[in-house]
Amino acid sequence: MSKNPSPTLTRRRFLTRGAMAASAVALPYYIPASALGRDGAVAPSERIVLGGIGIGGRGSYDLGFMLNERDVQCVAVCDVLKGRREAAKQLVDGKQDNQDCAMYGDLRQLLAERTDVEAVLIATGDRWHALASVLAMRAGKDVYCEKPACLTMAQGQMVVDTARRYGRVYQTGAQRLSEPNHVFAIEMARSGRLGPVQTVYADCRWRDGLRQDWLPAEPEPLKAELDWDLFLGPCPWRPYNRGYLSSGWYHFHDFATDVAMWGAHTVAQALAGLDMTKVTSIEFEYAGPDATMVTRLSNGVKLVLFRVTGSVWEPCQYWHGACGERFEGPEGWAAAADGYSAPEVSTPALLGEYRKVVAEYMARTQRPMNHVRDFFDCIRSRRPTVANPEVMYRSMNICLAADICEQLKRNLKFDLIHAEFVGDGEANRMRCRAMRAPFTG
């Protein structure tokens, strides 16, 4: 309290204060229409509160799409690189017309402190995908995680088990499962319009192995600029080198996968057109370096993991864009890839059903042609997403099994039910990798 006594309350002071109070009551208090849910906006109580983890190139791309959804409000972003989290905050604040987005350098702090966050986008480097998803779901968050969703089969199982135990909604970023051209090709196969599917091709852009060495040490940046220990996460300790940044890690076995890097997109697309309910195993035929790998499902379908070695847009005999899939049956074939104005089919008559096929799919599944919207809709309904944990796990297991087949240079048989190789102990030991403490899950 002030040591000075209050001035005497004169009649003039009393009247002045009364007039000021009256005017405050009389003047309307401005509240933005968006805060009240008017003018097409969604009221705050009805918005899905989002956080972003790993918001570099792909992460900022995904986040931009999510911010276009009117019922989504992003309140926090996290990245180990200071420049990236600052850029993400600028993106969010500019889109939401405020300065409310908080920044974090450690995802564990965000998950612990932000109890208001309901869902998170995870677009870190691949080494963090599974562990970040598990930590987020344990913290009660629903998860949209970029692909590949795991580096090992053991990590994939960890994601499935956590989602089931904690009742969380999970979507892996296999976005072509929600794009009309790919949906058409998938539905042409699934619905029997091509006859019983005999062969499926998936674009698996193999990289002919990953580097097993590591880069020489360079002086580490200040931790405030880059938390190098957190950047590595569960991977083996390696000395800092700027060459790992900006996707340089992509070329090293410590941080990435081979077939799964690209197959995480397309194997999920290929399997979506097949009845996998009775498929119990898959056989991998090692064909040598630089050769396409042929696999055979136990139901007789041949799944070809097609090796494309040039540019992602280099045409091949099965498609002419990136991330393609093709289904072949006795009644014809259908294919799709990125950059298509329309799917490709064996006869024009098949394409005549394009609108009908896509419309029937949407009516049957009640899913939008928008992958992030499917995620947010499922947060509200609590039903599985189109790229749910089981879809992710099955397709990733096939990709990772192909990786192991390539590394061992021999044929393998994989039991899809028990997620193990049949009669091959060495291959089974390769289903997991050590995770560096304390980033062990």
Say what the pLDDT of residue 350 is. 95
Asked if pLDDT for residue 29 goes beyond 70, the answer is no
pLDDT at residue number 184:
98
pLDDT over 80 at 384, yes or no: yes
**Residues 134 and 145 grouped into a single domain:** yes
**The pLDDT of residue 3:** 41
Average of pLDDT values for 137-141? 98
> Are 75 and 195 part of one and the same domain?
no
Q: Is 151 exposed, middle or buried (0-12, 13-18, 19+ CB in 10 A)?
A: buried
Is the same domain home to 73 and 185?
no
Contact 71, 48 (CB under 8 A): yes
Both 158 and 183 in a single domain? no
23 pLDDT more than 80: no
Instruction: Give the helix ranges, DSSP H, for 273-388.
Output: 348-351, 354-365, 371-381
Same domain, 193 and 148: no
| pLDDT more than 90, % of the chain | 78
157 in the same domain as 188: no
For residue 100, give the CATH number of its domain. 3.40.50.720
The pLDDT of residue 25: 39
Query: What are the tokens at 163?
Result: 């989602």
Q: Is the pLDDT assigned to residue 63 strictly greater than 90?
A: yes
CATH of the domain at 314: 3.30.360
Q: Is 314 left (phi over 0), alpha (psi -120 to 50) or beta?
A: beta
pLDDT of res. 262:
82
186 shares a domain with 145: no
Query: For 62-88, what is the mean pLDDT?
Result: 97
Are 314 and 183 in a shared domain?
yes
Round the average pLDDT of the chain to a whole number and report it. 90
pLDDT one-digit tens code per residue, 183-235? 999 999 999 999 999 999 999 877 667 899 999 999 999 999 999 999 999 99
Domain containing residue 271 = 176-210+258-368+388-429
* 100 and 195 both lie in a single domain: no
Residue 293 lies in a domain: yes
364 within some domain: yes
Residue 127 lies in a domain: yes
Task: Determine what percent of the chain is predicted with pLDDT higher than 70.
Answer: 88
Residue 250 falls inside a structural domain: no
92: in domain: yes
Same domain, 63 and 162: yes
Residue 1 has pLDDT above 50, yes or no: no
What integer pLDDT is reported at residue 358 of this predicted model?
Answer: 97
Q: Is residue 424 in some structural domain?
A: yes
Tell which of 126, 149, 174 closes a domain. Answer: 174
Average pLDDT on 88-101 reads 97
Structural domain includes residue 223: no
Q: Which residue has the higher pLDDT, 315 or 435?
A: 435
Asked whether the predicted pLDDT for residue 24 surpasses 50, the reply is no
Taking the C-alpha atoms of residue 293 and residue 310, their distance in angstroms, rounded to an integer, is 17
Q: Is the pLDDT of residue 22 over 50?
A: no
Taking the C-alpha atoms of residue 148 and residue 183, their distance in angstroms, rounded to an integer, is 20
Which residue type occupies 41?
A: A
Model confidence band, residue 30 (pLDDT cutoffs 50, 70, 90): very low
Domains of the chain: total: 2
Residue 260 has a pLDDT of 79
Both 158 and 284 in one domain: the answer is: no
Strand pairing report for 325-329 and 332-336: antiparallel
Does residue 9 sit within a domain? no
